[in-house]
Amino acid sequence: MSVRHAFGLLLGVLLAPALVYGSAWGYVQAGQSFDGTGQQITDSTRLYGSFALLAAVGLIVGVIIVARWASPLVSLVPALTLIGFSVYFLIDPGRVLDLPDKVPPAGELDSGLRMLLGTGVYAMMGFALMAPTWAPRRWSGRRSDDDLEEQPDYFARVPT
């Protein structure tokens, strides 16, 4: 295993809980900051903060998906985690929905974890993160001659 893939595995292991907890906490905070029946925002500061956190999670997912430098393990580990929990939810929903009670921190975050898992949002994130692992260029880590030919040479001298 190359250093690039070892670093990718470590980063993937760290990113999986960050994506799960970040999206769940942002979801809960956004839900508590507005009144859907009254159609009004009750706490704009909390709403802006939760949207900022959800945007950061989305940005991280997007960077992981499009980054050419990243090892495919950076996206594969969180993808398999999210898809695995989603499949486990489909097989035994009662047991998987009890898991948030067993891992810290407890409280309102648990409802966010359950809602995002039960609505399929984690499955969607998992499959989006799975897509880049199928690209052979992500495994090799080197640019091919075809990639170099496609790059425009902005500093080439133009004949006059």
Give 77-146 as a 3 state SS string: HHHHHHHHHHHHHHHCHHHHHHHHHHCCCCCHHHHHHHHHHHCCHHHHHHHHHHHHHHCHHHHHCCCCHH
Each residue's pLDDT tens digit, 16-75: 888 888 898 899 988 888 887 878 888 888 889 999 999 999 898 888 888 777 788 888
Average pLDDT over residues 122-146: 76
Percent of the chain with pLDDT over 70: 84
Ramachandran bin of 57, using left for φ above 0, alpha for ψ from -120 to 50, beta for the remaining angles = alpha
pLDDT bin (cut points 50, 70, 90) of residue 145 is very low
Global pTM?
0.75
Q: At what angle do helices 44-66 and 121-130 cross, to 10 degrees?
A: 30
- Residue given tokens 């409280």 in the structure block: 107
Give CA–CA dist 24/107, Å, rounded.
12
